[in-house]
Amino acid sequence: MLIQERHPLFPQSQTETLDLDQFHQPSARYRGAPFWAWNNRLDLAQLLRQMRTFHQMGMGGFHIHARTGLATPYLSDEFMTIVRECVDAAKAQDLYVWLYDEDRWPSGAAGGLVTQDPSLRARHLLLTTRPYSGHSVAPQFTSLVRGQRNENGTLVARYQVVLHQGLLASYRRLAADEPLPANGTIWYAYAETAIPSPWFNNQTYVDTLNPAAIAAFIATTHERYRGAVGDAFGRTIPAIFTDEPQFTHKIGLRYADDTTDVILPFTDDLFETYAAAYHERLEDALPEVIWNLPNGRAPLPRYRFHDHICERFTSASVDQLGAWCSAHDLLLTGHMMEEPTLQSQTAALGEAMRAYRSFHLPGIDMLCDRQELNTAKQAQSAARQYGRPGVASELYGVTNWDFDFVGHKAQGDWQAALGVTVRVPHLTWVSMAGEAKRDYPASIGYQSPWYQRYALIEDHFARLNTVLTRGKPVVHVGVIHPIESYWLCFGPQDQSAAEQSERETAFTQLTEWLLFGQIDFDFIAESLLPDLCPAPASAPLTVGECAYTVVIVPSLRTIRSTTLERLEAFHAAGGLLIFAGEVPSLVDAVPSDRAHQLAAKAQRTSFTQRAILDAVEEVREIGITTASGARATTVLTQIRSDGPTRYAFLCQTDRQHDLPDMRVQFVGTWHVTQLDTSSGAVYRLPCTQRNGMTTVVTSLPAHGSLMVCLAPTPSTAPYLPAPRKWREHTRLNDPVPVRLAEPNVLLLDRATYRLDEGEWQPEDDILRLDNHLRTALGFPLRYEAVAQPWTHPADIPTDHRLHLCFSFSSEIALVNAELALEQVMVSTLALDGHPVEVAVRRWYVDEAIGRVPLPPIEPGRHVLELTMPYGPLTDVEACYLLGDFGVRAYGRHASVIPPVRTLAFGDWTRQGLPFYGGNVTYQATLKVPELAHFALHISHFAAPLLDLAVDGQPPAPLAFAPYTCEVGLLAIGAHTVDITTYGNRVNTFGSLHHPPKHPAWYGPNIWRTEGDEWTDEYQLRPQGILSAPHVLISE
């Protein structure tokens, strides 16, 4: 019995019909489980406190994820005891614990424990024109597995390479004792081993092509977890997450006549296994992997190299992990490295879909709020074909503190449409201490002031999951994946970039044309097809759990003979076979007219949107047109069949524009019910049935979504109430009184400084001065790639004393002010030369940031001097002056001004709250002239969400378009309107010295940019209600 049958991930989705009580209040299995960053010296009491917040946020569990800052030794007895306690506590709270198989990422080295053995370290081939010279190489400060010239290897071959006009005219491998020939260029091939890097805790990444290395990883990690919590496998612990496994990235030539180094993935027995697979020696033909051949000939060794490396990688790594998990009642989930493009897959994986064969829950990684349709579609296709319970997604990563609820919903919606059923929000920190606070914010946890309202997001997606995990997908179209044709053009960029770009564009366009044309499809990986579709094939084409009545062959140069065999049988049996664009001229990368012969009998189309959509029109299940009658081009859909019932999910991917009065047509005669995922309510929708089609006229707001049930019999649910019609009555006047939920803050991130009794140094940014000192002392610099604290000796000395002086001005006297800072208990503090007792009674934003009461402060200029021990592990961080005051920020300066008591509608950073990250409640008054229903429309705000409360009633959220909130029937007179605007920490803890252009990557190093990418002046993001709310009255 398969593991998903022994321990189904969604057992409640296997009932005969949808449980509407479950839809209204979904259980934990349907809810998100964020990465929970264990990033400090672990404290069980702290972890248990934080675990309770997951319930408040609507989460169903968490992933235990060791991340930067972990001080408890990884996988030690202490670590595993805490894991055990958390698993037991989670079970008692009806939460699920998802394991994570690495210290940070990528998976495989077990935080360097595995690669302490040099034989298990990552390998690569260095091809160079420069023989070894004995020079040393600095380690790389990155989590990417990129090889470099290390000069620690052995010479495996020498080549004489002769180019003509940049093409490979001739080459030969030189004998070991052969003198160097006079013509051509001599290239040396060295088999090298990765060198230690701080990111891998001063070890290296693992050799993912070596089965013994991955077996050691499993013995070190998975068996350790089995010994500690194996009794919970398949129960409280459903799965283990593997993150970004990869091989050493392929790095080719920019120009064919370059003499720069080339890097290729390698393992010690690669030449032997290649020879066994293809009956030829790779080491004899290696130049064809790198350079292009004359007359456009296909380099067969290149194709075979990419295929063989991919198979070695998949079988050694993912297949072993999947087999172990199957044997021990765990689902293997997670995602691969570099999934989105043909280029990225080729360079780091070979192909993504092949790896999914051993995942019980294949996953994706969606960073920077990107919309990578192909990334999701590849994983969804494999999940469907292998009968998996959906797709996991690590989402919201690298989006920064000010990523709002619209972003959370919109990013999750389009992924739900493409099969994501397990949400892994990135991420929740245990601690913000030191470097941890720059570990790809925001923290989706208690440090964000909106965390208690996050159930608005999780309830929506949990309800979606109760439906989208039922039944089977309705999909008729299969598309042959084009990755293998891309391998053939993976050559020098000056010759290959144009073809690479064309193939990338076609890969993207076809997916967009089909999905936004409301034609669902699956990719078919040629490497997986023989196992999923045993010969002889028929029509429909059965691929695992799926059956396709239409197959598209999309502009390929090469196709496998095993694929052609199945497509020939499929076409002969009456299947609709479409060749769109280029017909393959190669079979298994060898010239052949076999594909052309089949194409001549099948349907041929140009590679254009209209031609392809016209060709598949006969299998359309849903059509959506706008109010103008044109096809909607921004809506993604998923349809599932569940017995006699169908479910359809639609989402508007345009976050700015509505789709009013759109017409949705479903094939079949149905009665239509809306399942409201925002409330859990169920409503009948008016529809018309004609000529075997059912039509619903409805609207989708910007970033809106719709879930409907299509049933053969009418529902007893009430009809959806007609929306009220509104007209503008007035706008709220300002300024209005405001109430801050926490003290205002003056950021202190610039200081003069000295080390020990040295000279005072000029004022500088706090992170910059720290690295200046580290450079002078020979300490490791603080960037993204730092070795974990747990790898350092506990008694590492802090022999130095660091003195920091923060200056600030105040226009007013301050009482009850506090200083928030880290390193509290080892620091001394003075204000204007007078010692301040360091007594911490509470914390600010995070438990690691203590609050020290300050004595009364008079108007004028003041100096706070902070003295702390300083050593290699010292975290030097900004401080925060807290209190009841306002702040004026101008350029790189900021000063204290009178407190904020009122705000006008507009950016609050310009009204005394430049660094404030908490919630603000606007306390407005609404004068009502007549008894009527009223609503507020607030379309311009910079906040995750708003809460509206009238006359002290329970608040109603406002986060999504159309940004209108009905406040009820109001009597004549004055009414209080409280609008709580939820803050975020972007102007408190964000990268405030990066220029105004928004970077695409909010990672640790964005806080330490240089040159034109740095500015001393504060770069603040607008916050608050930016325009006056409209008061609407019912017509």
Helix H or strand E segment including 125: strand 123-128
Kindly report, residue by residue over 93-143, the tens digit of the pLDDT: 999 999 999 999 999 999 999 999 999 999 999 999 999 998 878 777 788
CB 151 within 8 A of CB 138: no
Using the CB atoms, write b or e for 192-230: b if 16+ within 10 Å: bbbbebbbbbebbbbbbbbbebbebbbebbbebbbebbe
- Characterize the bridge pairing of strands 576-580 and 603-605: parallel
- Over pLDDT 70: what percentage of the chain? 100
What average pLDDT does this structure show over 807-818? 98
pLDDT at 941: 98
Q: Which residues contact 262 (CB under 8 A, 6 or more apart)?
A: 125, 126, 127, 128, 251, 252, 253, 290
Residue 708 has pLDDT above 80, yes or no: yes
What is the reported pTM?
Answer: 0.97
pLDDT at 997: 77
pLDDT at 783: 84
Could you tell me which of 229, 210, 231 has the C-alpha nearest to residue 221?
229
pLDDT at 1: 59
Kindly report, residue by residue over 51-88, the tens digit of the pLDDT: 999 999 999 999 999 999 999 999 999 999 999 999 99
CA angle 459, 465, 471 (to 5 degrees): 155
What average pLDDT does this structure show over 730-754? 98
Measured distance CA(687)–CA(411) in Å, rounded: 29
Kindly indicate the confidence band of residue 195, based on its pLDDT and cuts at 50, 70 and 90.
Answer: very high
What average pLDDT does this structure show over 147-164? 97
At position 756, the amino acid (one-letter code) is D
Can you list the domains of the chain with their CATH numbers?
477-619 (3.40.50), 622-722 (2.60.40.1180), 730-737+914-1034 (2.60.120), 744-883 (2.60.120)
Residue 214 has pLDDT above 80, yes or no: yes
pLDDT at 825: 87
What average pLDDT does this structure show over 277-305? 97
Q: Which residues contact 938 (CB under 8 A, 6 or more apart)?
A: 946, 958, 963, 965, 979, 1025, 1027, 1029, 1030
Kindly report, residue by residue over 437-483, the tens digit of the pLDDT: 999 999 999 999 999 999 999 999 999 999 999 999 999 999 999 99
Kindly report, residue by residue over 514-556, the tens digit of the pLDDT: 999 999 999 999 999 999 999 899 999 999 999 999 999 999 9
CB 886 within 8 A of CB 945: no
CA distances from 595 to 386, 527, 747, 947 (A): 27, 18, 67, 61
Q: Which residues contact 936 (CB under 8 A, 6 or more apart)?
A: 732, 948, 958, 964, 965, 967, 977, 979, 1029, 1030, 1031, 1032
Beta bridge pairs of residue 830 = 835, 865
Residue 2 has pLDDT above 90, yes or no: no
What average pLDDT does this structure show over 218-230? 98
Measured distance CA(789)–CA(412) in Å, rounded: 34
Residue 461: CB atoms within 10 Å: 24
- Over pLDDT 90: what percentage of the chain? 95
Kindly indicate the confidence band of residue 841, based on its pLDDT and cuts at 50, 70 and 90.
Answer: confident
Using the CB atoms, write b or e for 663-673: b if 16+ within 10 Å: ebbbbeebbbb
Residue 907 has pLDDT above 70, yes or no: yes
Measured distance CA(539)–CA(572) in Å, rounded: 8
Kindly report, residue by residue over 982-1018, the tens digit of the pLDDT: 999 999 999 999 997 767 789 999 999 999 999 999 9
What average pLDDT does this structure show over 728-753? 98
Could you tell me which of 753, 781, 776, 779 has the C-alpha nearest to residue 765?
753
pLDDT at 137: 81
Residue 561 has pLDDT above 90, yes or no: yes
Kindly report, residue by residue over 393-430, the tens digit of the pLDDT: 999 999 999 999 999 999 999 999 999 999 999 999 99
Helix H or strand E segment including 498: helix 493-516
pLDDT at 479: 99
CB 747 within 8 A of CB 839: no
Average pLDDT value for the chain: 97
pLDDT at 932: 96
Q: Which residues contact 352 (CB under 8 A, 6 or more apart)?
A: 336, 339, 345, 375, 378, 379
Residue 627 has pLDDT above 70, yes or no: yes
